[in-house]
Structure 1
Amino acid sequence: MISSTFLAYAMLAWLGVAVVALIALWFVDAPYGRRSRAGWGPGIPNQLAWFLMESVVLISFYATFLTTSNHIGVSTWIFASLLTFHYVNRALIYPWRTRTKGKTMPLSVMLMSMTFNTVNGFFIGADLTTLSRADSWLTDPRFLIGIVIFFSAMALNWHSDNILINLRKPGETGYSIPRGGAFTWVTSPNLLGEILEWIGFALLTWSLSGLTFAIWTCANLIPRARSNQRWYFEHFPDYPRERRVLIPGIW
């Protein structure tokens, strides 16, 4: 059994890696999607890559979560259900809805993402089983506010994903300007939704693992959102200049 002290120090070290990743991704665009480019190794079919790199979170999480000797209460099962709900969509539903036939993701990017997701799944699984939240936690303001943020952000993420998916007609592979919904105000509302979702999860669990995952999500997606904005400006002269990157009216 892993001690809570060792687990805490390991997660703090993992947060340090997140800072390094944020700095690196601020200057080097991750080579997938609209930023795909040669030089990062062989390509894996895009939908398969998304499935593999997202599904490992559930494998890592439950391999840790279900082998604990600690009592798992109702609150902790709810935390696990929320994580599962998110990743069932990301691994089993979302990839196969995308119209990316013929597109690939570099194997190196997929493997780095799988490593990242495996580590995070382990930390969340190990940490949540040590919390021992009483059932009364379900009426705590932190849980109630966090779960509202979680599901509101999930709705924003899903709605924005739907807009992006429907930009392409069956058989099309190009890019166009997304319009409607939160795209009216920001370039990447899908990424904003995912960031807020994990901030909500960190709040409703009130855990170091939740906070760590939220910070890692920011480290990955804030530079990506900035890169998306630059890409649209470079490729679409008529792209709405008033759109912000992630925060309406601010940035």
Structure 2
Amino acid sequence: MALVTVVSNASVGISGIRGQQLQYSKFWNVGTEKSTPKLPGKMGMLIAYTPAFLLGLASFGMFPNEGLRFVLLKSALTIHFFKRICEVLFVHKYSGPMFVDIAITISLSYFFQTANMIYAQHLTQGLLEPPIDLKFLGVFIFLLGLSGNFYHHYLLSKLRGEGEKEYKIPKGGLFNLVICPHYLFEILGFVGVSCIAQTLYAFSYTLGAAMLLMGRSYGTRKWYLTKFEDFPKDVKAVIPFLF
């Protein structure tokens, strides 16, 4: 499953670099037009995040009393998706619909990857602890990623006034260096989760997610370059000064 996760996420990232974005948000009309039913963007993202959040909550009852590392991992995953749901409800503004099949695909992906990470941690019970304990460092990195991701999502939400739907070039925070600092901090959050877990699956998920988000950020930067003639050419995709 670790190999499947890396390959599947990386393939989505490579597709993003090639210009084949998942069809939701501002990319809903990229590529071939589909006849699949659409949902409002907010409802689609709630469908995407809620099952994984409920699984995180349920894991406390399914796997009780399995040590501090497991508690930290379950807490991080649950908080991660709870934050996403809160952002969908109270922060994000959606200008386009979301295809039903895409919402279901993303939802199943988050659900099964969360389940795999939790179950992989369960399988470590009774084994020796890693010689270098990274779980508290992981908590710090996770919280840094969580807060940085939220901050830049908040900046994005303030770009448009009430009733406005047109896109603008983001400003503030790290947006002066990269067009997707929210993805950069999301990757940091996943690095924190993998340091908490210290399992092969968690590190594989982080690697795959990083490749996916780098591909999406590349596609996002390309989109801004085509839509805005005054887009700063020195603003990178997700890694300041590099990519």
The reply to whether TM is greater than 0.5 is: yes
Amino acid at match of 2:108: T
CA RMSD of aligned residues (A): 2.4
The range that moved more, 204-213 or 93-102, is: 93-102
The structure 2 residue matched to 1:112, chosen from 105, 108, 112, is: 105
SS of 1:198's equivalent? helix
1:29 match: 21
Q: CA deviation at 1:101?
A: 5.7
2:71 match: 77
Say if 2:56 and 2:77, in contact at 8 Å, map to a contact too.
Answer: no
Alpha-carbon distance in structure 2 between the residues aligned to 1:71 and 1:153: 27
Is 1:122–2:111 an aligned residue pair?
Answer: no
SS of 1:66's equivalent? helix
Q: Deviations over 1:195-244 (max 9, x none)?
A: 11101211222112321321232232111100110111111111111111
Say if 1:154 and 1:193, in contact at 8 Å, map to a contact too.
Answer: yes
1:14 match: 5
Amino acid at match of 1:113: I
Residues 19 and 161 (structure 1), Cα distance of their counterparts in 2 relative to 1, 3 Å cut: closer
Say if 1:184 and 1:243, in contact at 8 Å, map to a contact too.
Answer: yes
Alpha-carbon distance in structure 2 between the residues aligned to 1:66 and 1:15: 29
Q: For residues 192-211 of structure 1, what are the structure 2 equivalents within 5 Å?
A: 192-211=184-203
Q: CA deviation at 1:102?
A: 6.3
Is 1:148–2:148 an aligned residue pair?
Answer: no
Greater RCO (CA < 8 Å, at least 6 residues apart): 2
The range that moved more, 73-82 or 13-22, is: 13-22
The structure 1 residue matched to 2:153, chosen from 140, 147, 161, is: 161
Residues 24 and 131 (structure 1), Cα distance of their counterparts in 2 relative to 1, 3 Å cut: same
Residues 113 and 186 (structure 1), Cα distance of their counterparts in 2 relative to 1, 3 Å cut: same
Q: TM-score, length-normalised on structure 1? A: 0.85
Say if 1:151 and 1:197, in contact at 8 Å, map to a contact too.
Answer: yes
Alpha-carbon distance in structure 2 between the residues aligned to 1:66 and 1:152: 28
1:52 match: 47
Alpha-carbon distance in structure 1 between the residues aligned to 2:79 and 2:126: 20
The sequence identity of aligned pairs, in percent, is 19
For these two proteins, the number of residue pairs brought into alignment is 238
Residues 97 and 219 (structure 1), Cα distance of their counterparts in 2 relative to 1, 3 Å cut: same
Say if 1:99 and 1:170, in contact at 8 Å, map to a contact too.
Answer: no
Is 1:86–2:80 an aligned residue pair?
Answer: yes
Say if 2:52 and 2:111, in contact at 8 Å, map to a contact too.
Answer: yes
Alpha-carbon distance in structure 2 between the residues aligned to 1:79 and 1:99: 26
Alpha-carbon distance in structure 1 between the residues aligned to 2:154 and 2:146: 12
Structure 2: give runs of 5+ residues left out of the alignment. Answer: none
Alpha-carbon distance in structure 1 between the residues aligned to 2:5 and 2:209: 13
Q: CA deviation at 1:157?
A: 0.6
Say if 1:54 and 1:90, in contact at 8 Å, map to a contact too.
Answer: yes
Alpha-carbon distance in structure 1 between the residues aligned to 2:156 and 2:193: 25
1:229 match: 221
Say if 1:41 and 1:108, in contact at 8 Å, map to a contact too.
Answer: yes
Say if 1:188 and 1:245, in contact at 8 Å, map to a contact too.
Answer: yes
1:183 match: 175
Alpha-carbon distance in structure 2 between the residues aligned to 1:64 and 1:78: 12
